[in-house]
Amino acid sequence: ERSNVQLFKVCESEAHSWEEIVNKVNGNHKRKVTYVCVEHFRKEDLINSYSGCNDLEFKRNLIGLKKGVFPSVLLL
């Protein structure tokens, strides 16, 4: 069951690059990509927590993406 998998909206400035990557994985089907699943990103590309005062670290409810990362995990 994958119904609770987080999706990331593709930003306009990176849309072409993300579409090339995703369409290559999908057998070169040319289609517009608007969202990409969290499972297509490496663990080190994700932001799972944030720091508060006194160097306390808190877990985020929603995962974030680091700036400039691209989907790089190919799922079959």
pLDDT in tens, 1-48: 556 889 999 888 888 888 887 777 766 667 777 888 898 899 999 998
Report the alpha-carbon distance of residue 22 to residue 56 in Å, rounded: 37
Q: How many domains does the chain have?
A: 1
| pTM for the model | 0.69
CA dihedral 27→71→19→4, nearest 10 degrees, is: 90
How many Cα atoms within 13 Å fall on the side-chain side of residue 1? Answer: 2
pLDDT of residue 76: 54
Does the residue 1 lie in any domain? Answer: no
Residue 18 lies inside a defined structural domain of this protein: yes
pLDDT band at 75 (very low <50, low <70, confident <90, very high): low
Instruction: Indicate whether 72 belongs to any domain.
Output: no
Domain encompassing residue 47: 7-65
Is residue 24 in a domain?
Answer: yes
